[in-house]
Structure 1
Amino acid sequence: MFATLKNAWHIADIRKKLLYTLMILVLFRLGAAVPVPFLDTTVLQGLISQGGNLLGYLDILSGGSFSQATVFALSITPYITSSIVIQLLTVAIPALERLAKEGEEGRKKINKITRYTTVGLALVQAFAYYTMLKNQHAVSYTSGWEGVFAAFIIVLTFTAGAMLIVYLGERIDEKGIGNGISMILFAGIVSRGPAAIRKLWTYIQLANAGETLYYFTVPLVVVLFVALIVVIIIMTNAERRIPVQYAKKVVGRKMYGGQSTFIPIKVNMSGVLPIIFASSLLAIPGTIKAFVDPQATGTLGKILGAFDYNRPLYAILYFILILAFNYFYVAIQYNPIEMANNLRNNSGTIPGIRPGRPTSDFISRIISKITLLGGIFLALVAVLPIGVGAITKMNIALGGTSIIIVVGVALDTFRQLESQMMMRHYKGFLE
């Protein structure tokens, strides 16, 4: 990894891209320190510390910006949500499906639709959070023209910050290295690292003060953190290769085909999307609880309290929902019948499997097994921090989703660096 960075730094145009990407990330972190007026951050931090609601999840993705009520508080969640919605609608709506198959022009139109959807979602999300914060008495002015002006400024600032993040991500795509939105998400999550280290140091001080249990739990958390990164790297790169043999055919005086290749099917085909779907769905009860603030002893309070982050029911439902969303996402992304037809149309066969229906059934069985394995992997990574926190009584920012995102973005960025260096050292056929 360090050798790749060192070699890339010696290439002038790649060095410019790296510096440009770094500049954009610095601007993002500076914007994450500019506060939104008329908001009381102490109330926000109290709501987030309760856990189990959508605000804590948003604070993780924003790198702590939401708890500090800054301009980039919404982070890229409106863009992520709109991208997922448009991607799902592309499968359901024929017009969008045709756009997706039109190549570069179709992709530009879909990106434009995604940006417009992001603006609408950002406005709705900003107004919803303003309403919640107003109900929690976190807004300085709530009545009269002062209240209208405060509401306008808060909603507009949240929305503008979300769209500015999308703009910064697009600039990285255009002139930098890596996927822009992923790099900004990466920077936000990594920025929480010092806070996690400070928490670990606090537990070490508690151990020195007489609570000797932390002498065992702190090293355990560190070892699990390192082991989790290793497992995620292995599973991210793992794939099942289905062998394919193409028949030879003669066209004129030339013979084509005859080569052997494979269809790669990754174990983690859906990335972190099932975790994002599941955590967003399970965060709804906690968010409703923050909105209405029910009594803990009342019926509604007991029902909503059962979905708290530290309750067993939350972990069980989290595990099941991740498996279900993983199967759902893979089902809309991979069509075994279409894959089998493409193989037959290109004179390709899987050794030992007849073309047509047997091929599609074979591919379907392989995808089903890989999907189950990938779903269990994602669910264990997501649920593990909950179990570790319950056993060790330690509240460390060791979210499985965060680690998967950080590792995935890092691996993808280094792959892009290596491919760009390879292109610049390739001499070609004419020399």
Structure 2
Amino acid sequence: MFKKLEDIFSLPELRKRIVFTVLMLIVYRIGTHVPTPGIDSDALAQFFARQSGNMLGFFDMFTGGALSRLTVFGLGIMPYISASIIMELLSVVVPHLSELKKQGTEGRNKITKYTRYGTVLICAIQALGISIGLESMTSPVGSPIVMFPGWGFRFVTTITLTAGTIFLMWLGEKITEKGLSNGISLIIFTGIVAAMPTAVINTFRVLKTGELQIITVVVVIIIALAVTAGIVYMEIASRRLPIQYVRKGGLGGRQSVGNSYLPLKLNTANVIPIIFAASIMSFPSMLSSFSQSSVLGKIGYYFSPSSVLYYVLYVVLIVFFTYFYTSIIFNPKDIADNIQKSGGVIPGKRPGEATAQFIDYTLSRLTFIGAIYLSAVAILPQLIINNFNVPFYFGGTSLLIVIGVGMDVMNKVESHLITHNYDGFLKKGRIKGRGYV
């Protein structure tokens, strides 16, 4: 292990990326403790203590606890994710955006600019709604959460929370550019991991008071280990399509020169669909939690784990985004064209359109299994909380994100090591899928 660490930090480029990523994540964690002006922190903490097991607690998990403290990063990175979802959907139906996606780097830069504008708008709406809602709320003992209500507080809160999310968006882009892995995913990963010590402390506290039985903790740990093993297996599972490369022989015949494989992951979309779906599902519930409106309260109920409709909508969204995101990042026709140009062929399939159709057919079946897997992982947290009364928001969603991002970071580090002729974390080099379907 120490030899591996020595190898990692002996590469200047990799060392710079690791140090940069760690420093940026430290900045993020510092920001989650900088409070928004005009808030009674104690009263707010007491209010959130009653929300730990519902969708508000789920949203707080994605912000790394910043929402429960209403810090400058209180909205987290979710508004940016929501804006990205909207832009991806619009790019399918709006011709102008579709053309921009085909223009390469220049077109992507314009779409990124529109996404940023959308993020600002979503942040402003959410922040204003939260500030208005907090003014009418009190702690369980009756203490007001907002010390000086009014438009002054609303304006400052809206500006503060919006600026915080914009800074997080910039931070995530810089980590993606100069650090390890996807910056947005790493920010969410860091927030979830940072909440784990508090969850452990709360568990021991309620065990000591008798509110939680030891058998419940044992069952939750067993479930967590089983889910972890299942996630790891499913994340590395893939279908390998054989590819045969050929060339013309000396007498005009065709001679085989080698075989290769096209790996199709079972879960091509990774954690993105579940994050997209969660951002949509948590928004109405969050607004209803900060509002006294009976209409919003009713809407919030249908978007909470107490409603059967919640589970139905959640699964539908996950399945939709799994197929949608997979279709964006993986184009069977382009893959078939690349195989044909490189002199390859899938045995039994004609080059070109027939190969593309076969890849698309295979990918569609794998995506269906992946969507069901993601749906099962997503609804597990609510089932655990509802049946075992866990004192913190725990379940498959957080585990999926932590494991998925962790494996992605390991893959990036291994790529750098192997590129510079070092062994990876494993003796055989890169992490390989071992579950073939």
Task: Please indicate, yes or no, whether the TM-score normalized by the shorter chain is above 0.5.
Answer: yes
Match of residue 217 from structure 2: 218
CA distance in 2, matches of 1:311, 1:114: 32
CA distance in 1, matches of 2:156, 2:321: 37
Question: What is the aligned counterpart of 2:148 among 135, 141, 151?
Answer: 141
- After superposition, the Cα gap between the structure-2 partners of 1:193 and 1:291, relative to the gap in structure 1 and judged at 3 Å, is closer
What do residues 360-404 of structure 1 show as CA deviations (whole Å, max 9, x unaligned)? 443333122211211111111111222222332323332322221
SS of corresponding position for 2:267: coil
**Higher deviation after alignment, 345-354 or 400-409:** 345-354
Question: What is the aligned counterpart of 2:187 among 184, 189, 194?
Answer: 184
Task: Check whether the contact 1:339–1:360 (CA below 8 A) recurs between aligned residues.
Answer: yes
- After superposition, the Cα gap between the structure-2 partners of 1:95 and 1:313, relative to the gap in structure 1 and judged at 3 Å, is closer
Match of residue 85 from structure 2: 84
SS of corresponding position for 2:66: coil
What do residues 15-70 of structure 1 show as CA deviations (whole Å, max 9, x unaligned)? 34323322222221111111001234434763674468764333111100011010
Equivalence map 1:75-154=2 (5 Å) = 75-136=76-137, 138-142=145-149, 147-154=150-157
> TM-score under structure 2 normalisation?
0.81
CA distance in 2, matches of 1:237, 1:381: 16
What do residues 260-302 of structure 1 show as CA deviations (whole Å, max 9, x unaligned)? 333221111222233234334433553454355366xxx9967
> TM-score under structure 1 normalisation?
0.82
CA distance in 1, matches of 2:266, 2:161: 37
SS of corresponding position for 1:191: helix
Q: Give the aligned length.
A: 413
**Higher deviation after alignment, 272-281 or 34-43:** 272-281
- After superposition, the Cα gap between the structure-2 partners of 1:2 and 1:282, relative to the gap in structure 1 and judged at 3 Å, is farther
Structure 2 residue identity aligned to 1:23:
L
Gaps of at least 5 residues in structure 1 are 427-431
Match of residue 231 from structure 1: 230
Task: Check whether the contact 2:129–2:290 (CA below 8 A) recurs between aligned residues.
Answer: no
CA distance in 2, matches of 1:175, 1:358: 40
- After superposition, the Cα gap between the structure-2 partners of 1:80 and 1:247, relative to the gap in structure 1 and judged at 3 Å, is same
- After superposition, the Cα gap between the structure-2 partners of 1:331 and 1:122, relative to the gap in structure 1 and judged at 3 Å, is same
Gaps of at least 5 residues in structure 2 are 139-144, 423-437
Deviation at 1:249, TM superposition (A): 4.6
Match of residue 244 from structure 1: 243
SS of corresponding position for 2:153: helix
- After superposition, the Cα gap between the structure-2 partners of 1:95 and 1:52, relative to the gap in structure 1 and judged at 3 Å, is farther
CA distance in 1, matches of 2:61, 2:70: 13
Question: Is 1:56 matched with 2:24?
Answer: no
Match of residue 19 from structure 1: 19
CA distance in 2, matches of 1:310, 1:394: 16
Task: Check whether the contact 2:38–2:147 (CA below 8 A) recurs between aligned residues.
Answer: yes
SS of corresponding position for 2:243: strand
CA distance in 2, matches of 1:320, 1:36: 36
Match of residue 429 from structure 1: none
**Higher deviation after alignment, 335-344 or 12-21:** 335-344
Match of residue 32 from structure 1: 32
CA distance in 2, matches of 1:194, 1:204: 15
Equivalence map 1:257-272=2 (5 Å) = 258-272=257-271
Question: What is the aligned counterpart of 1:417 among 399, 413, 420?
Answer: 413
What do residues 134-192 of structure 1 show as CA deviations (whole Å, max 9, x unaligned)? 354743334xxxx2322221111111111111232233334433332222222111110
SS of corresponding position for 1:245: strand
What do residues 61-114 of structure 1 show as CA deviations (whole Å, max 9, x unaligned)? 110001101011111112222233333334444444444444444444443333
CA distance in 2, matches of 1:166, 1:32: 14
